[in-house]
Amino acid sequence: MSKETRVRANTELRALMDMKAALDPEDKYLSSWTNNGDPCDGSFEGIACNDYGQVANISLQGKGLRGKLSPAIAGLMHLTGLYLHYNSLYGKMPKEIANLKGLSDLYLNVNNLSGEIPPEIGDMENLQVLQLCYNQFTGSIPTQLGSLKKLNVLALQSNQLTGAIPASLGDMGVLMRLDLSFNSFFGSIPTKLADAPLLEVLDVRNNSLSGNVPLDHINPSTPEPFGPDSTGLPTREIPETANLQLPCNQTHCSNSSRTHQAAVVVGTIILTIALSVIGILTFTQYRRQKQKLGSSFEISDSRPSTDQAKGVYRKNGSPLISLEYSNGWDPLADGRNFSGHEEDVFRSFMFNLDEVETAAQYFSEVNLLGKSNFSATYKGILRDGSVVAIRALYLDVKDGDGCVLEWSTRVSIVKGIAKGIAYLHGYKVNKPALIHQNITAQKVLLDQRRYPLLADSGLQNLLTNDIVFSALKASAAMGYLAPEYAATGRFTDKSDVYAFGVIVFQVLSGKREVTNLVRLAAESCTFQDYIDPNLHGRFDEYEAAKLARIAWLCAHESPIERPSMEAIVQELGNCSSCL
C-alpha cells in the first residue's frame, strides 16, 4: 500500500469514527465501526467501498440512530450515496456535507432534523436525489438549489418551511419530481416551474399559496393533468388555504365547466402518470425483522450478465411482484405512529418494472432464494443499497395439478372466502375488527381437500401496526383495488368486499381479467359469456345467477352500494343449493 493510499485510508477512518460518535453516541448500533478496523473489508455495518478501496456508500437506513450528523462527513470525499433515512437523527444539517461533490443520492428523510437547509447544497453538482422530507426544517428554500442541474427528485414535504417558492427551481432541467406539500409556503407558483421539461410530479398541497396555476406555460410535450381534458388521473383536494385559481379562457375552460375544472386543478397539482404507465408497481414495504433474509437462505453474490439474465426472465410468465426489506428496519419500531398525511411517505415509494428487474438482475437464477409451483422469491438490491426480497407470483400458471375445478368446488371456495373475510371484519372479544387490505386470487390457497385458506389473514399485529400496501402489477392485479382508493388512499372493509367481488367473477369465468363484458353478462345472466367454458355446461344455473348477483353488488363502483361480508354470508346461507 502506497503512502498516499494509507493517508487517505486513515483520513476516511477518522471521519467514520467521528461520524459514529455523533450518530450513535451510546455505541448501540455501530459497534462494528472500530479504530483498528478496515471499512472496506465488510466488517463495518452499512459501509461499501468502490474498486479503489474508497468509502463510496453509507446505508444505515432504519437502524435506530438517535444522534447527529457530524461535519466530519466532509472527509469522505468519494462518497456517492448517503442513506440515513428512517432514523431519529436531530440537530442541524451540517453545511460541510456540500463538500461531497461526487454525492448523487442524499436520503435524510423521516428524521428529526431541524434548522435551515444549507444553501451550500446548491454546490453539489452531481446530486440526483435530495430527500429531506418528514423532518423539522425551517426557513425558506435556498435559491441556490436551482443550480443542481442533475437533480431528478427534490422531496421537501412535511417540514416547517416557509417563504415563497423560488423560481430558480425551474432551472433544474432534469427534475422529475418536486414535492413541497405540507409546509407553509405562500405566494404564487412560479411560472418558470411549468417550463421544466421533464417534470412529472408537482405537489404543493397544504400550503398557503395563492394566485393562478400557470397553465399557459405548461410544456405541451409533457402530460397536462390540470388541463381541461385531464379526466383520467386521481385527484386529491387542497385545502382552501391554498387559494389557487384556474385562469379561464377559451383555450382552457368555459364558463359552464369552470367550477368543475377548478376543483380538478386545485384538487391535484400532482403531475403523475403512475396509473397510466403499464408496469408501474407499488410495493409492500412492511415486514419486520422476523421476516428478514439470511435466516433460511444463503445468498450468492455471483451473477450472470444482464443480457443473459434478461433472456431467461423474458421466457417466464408475467409475475405479480411484491417487495420486502430484509435488513429489519421498521419505521414504527421506535413507537412512532404516523397518521394522516404522514402516511404519504410510504406511498411515495414507487418503482417501475425496470428498476425492479435491475434490482433482481432480471430475476436470474443466482438471485433465486426459493420457489414453489406458483411463486419465486429473489434477492434484490435497490439503488440505495437496501437488500430486499422480491416475490414473483406467476399469473400464467394453471391450477397446481392441471385440472379444471368443478362447479361444486368453486361454490365451496366462494363460501370459504366469504366466511374468512367476514370473520376478519367481525368484532369479538379479544379480536378487533380487521381489514385485510390485499385480497387477491393469489392470497387464496387451497388445501388438499380444496378448502380455501386466506393468506395473511391471521397476522393481526402486522395488519394493525404496520402500514400495508399491496404489490400490484398494473396490467392484472389492479383489478382488485377498489376505485375509491385512488382518491382517498385508504382501505376500508368495503375495499375487501370489492376485491371479493372480483374474485367471485374470476371463479365464475375462469379468467384472470374481469372485463366489462363479463360484468354485463353476469348482470343479465347471459351464462355463456361469464361462466367458464371449460365446465362444458356442468353448473347449476340458479347458483350461477345467485353468485353473479353477489359479485356484481360487491364490485359496485360505489362503496355505499356494496353489502357487508356478514350480509353476503347470510345471503349465501339463505340459498340452500348454494351451500
Residue 245 φ then ψ, to 5°: -130, 145
Cα distance between residue 437 and residue 313, in whole Å:
29
Quick one: pLDDT at residue 112? 92
The C-alpha cell that represents 121 in the structure block: 447544497
Superfamily the domain 3-223 falls into: Ribonuclease Inhibitor (3.80.10.10)
Q: Which letter, b or e, does each residue of 541-578 get, where b requires 16 or more Cβ atoms within 10 Å of its Cβ? A: eebbebbbebbbbbbbeebeebbebeebbebbeeeeeb
What band does 312 get if pLDDT is binned at 50, 70 and 90? very low
Quick one: pLDDT at residue 446? 62
Residue 247: pLDDT above 60? no
Q: Where are the domains of the chain?
A: 3-223, 281-394, 407-573
Least trusted range by pLDDT, from 321-330, 465-474, 563-572 = 465-474
- CA geometry: angle at 189 spanning 187 and 192, to 5°? 130
Quick one: pLDDT at residue 234? 31
Within 10 A of 192 (CB to CB), how many other CB atoms are there? 17
Cα distance between residue 399 and residue 374, in whole Å:
9
Percent of the chain with pLDDT over 90: 21
Identity of the highest mean pLDDT range in 23-37, 214-228, 261-275, 361-375 = 23-37
Q: What burial class does residue 430 get, using C-beta atoms within 10 Å of its C-beta: 0-12 exposed, 13-18 middle, 19+ buried?
A: exposed
What band does 364 get if pLDDT is binned at 50, 70 and 90? confident
Quick one: pLDDT at residue 119? 94
Within 10 A of 36 (CB to CB), how many other CB atoms are there? 5
Cα distance between residue 572 and residue 414, in whole Å:
9
What band does 351 get if pLDDT is binned at 50, 70 and 90? low
The predicted-structure confidence for 539-553, as pLDDT tens digits, reads as follows 888 888 888 889 888
What mean pLDDT comes out for the span 404-430? 83
Q: Please, are residues 89 and 113 in contact by the beta-carbon 8 Å criterion?
A: yes
Quick one: pLDDT at residue 408? 87
Least trusted range by pLDDT, from 161-165, 306-310, 381-385, 401-405 = 306-310
Residue 349: pLDDT above 60? no
Quick one: pLDDT at residue 287? 33
Length of the chain: 579
Q: Please, are residues 161 and 185 in contact by the beta-carbon 8 Å criterion?
A: yes
Cα distance between residue 526 and residue 398, in whole Å:
26
The predicted-structure confidence for 425-467, as pLDDT tens digits, reads as follows 887 766 677 777 777 776 666 655 666 666 654 433 333 333 2
Residue with cell 356478514: 566
What mean pLDDT comes out for the span 464-491? 54
Q: What burial class does residue 34 get, using C-beta atoms within 10 Å of its C-beta: 0-12 exposed, 13-18 middle, 19+ buried?
A: middle
Cα distance between residue 525 and residue 513, in whole Å:
19
- Integer CA distances (angstroms), 40 to 17, 37, 54, 306, in order: 14, 9, 7, 26
Residue 127: pLDDT above 90? yes
Distance of CA 279 to the CA centre of its chain: 13
Quick one: pLDDT at residue 269? 35
Residue partners of 210: CB distance under 8 A and separation at least 6: 186, 187, 188, 242, 243, 244, 245
Residue 42: pLDDT above 50? yes
Least trusted range by pLDDT, from 10-14, 197-201, 237-241, 419-423 = 237-241
Q: Which of 301, 422, 290, 410 is nearest to 364 (CA)?
A: 301
The C-alpha cell that represents 405 in the structure block: 375445478
Quick one: pLDDT at residue 300? 36
DSSP letter for 288, please: -
Residue 280: pLDDT above 80? no
Residue 291: pLDDT above 80? no
Residue 262 φ then ψ, to 5°: -65, -40
Least trusted range by pLDDT, from 19-33, 99-113, 204-218, 480-494 = 204-218
Q: Please, are residues 381 and 48 in contact by the beta-carbon 8 Å criterion?
A: no
What band does 126 get if pLDDT is binned at 50, 70 and 90? very high
Least trusted range by pLDDT, from 195-204, 279-288, 402-411 = 279-288
Mean pLDDT of the chain: 70
Residue 15 φ then ψ, to 5°: -60, -45
Cα distance between residue 251 and residue 217, in whole Å:
13
Residue 227: pLDDT above 80? no
Quick one: pLDDT at residue 236? 30
Least trusted range by pLDDT, from 59-73, 74-88, 393-407, 476-490 = 393-407
Q: Please, are residues 351 and 473 in contact by the beta-carbon 8 Å criterion?
A: no
Q: Which of 210, 160, 153 is nearest to 183 (CA)?
A: 160
Q: At what angle do helices 516-524 and 493-509 cross, to 10 degrees?
A: 80
Distance of CA 492 to the CA centre of its chain: 19
Q: Which of 134, 178, 189 is nearest to 152 (CA)?
A: 178
What band does 240 get if pLDDT is binned at 50, 70 and 90? very low
What band does 5 get if pLDDT is binned at 50, 70 and 90? low
What mean pLDDT comes out for the span 512-530? 79
What mean pLDDT comes out for the span 52-72? 89
Identity of the highest mean pLDDT range in 2-16, 34-48, 189-203, 388-402 = 34-48
Assign a CATH topology to domain 407-573. Answer: Transferase(Phosphotransferase); domain 1 (1.10.510)
Measured between its terminal Cα atoms, the distance across the chain in Å is 78
Residue 220: pLDDT above 50? no
What mean pLDDT comes out for the span 204-209? 88
What mean pLDDT comes out for the span 85-97? 91
3-state secondary structure of 28: coil
The type of residue at 186 is: F
What is the SS3 string spanning 34-91? CCCCCCCCCCCCCEEECCCCCEEEEECCCCCCCCCCCHHHHHCCCCCEEECCCCCCEE
Residue 357: pLDDT above 80? no
Residue 190: pLDDT above 80? yes
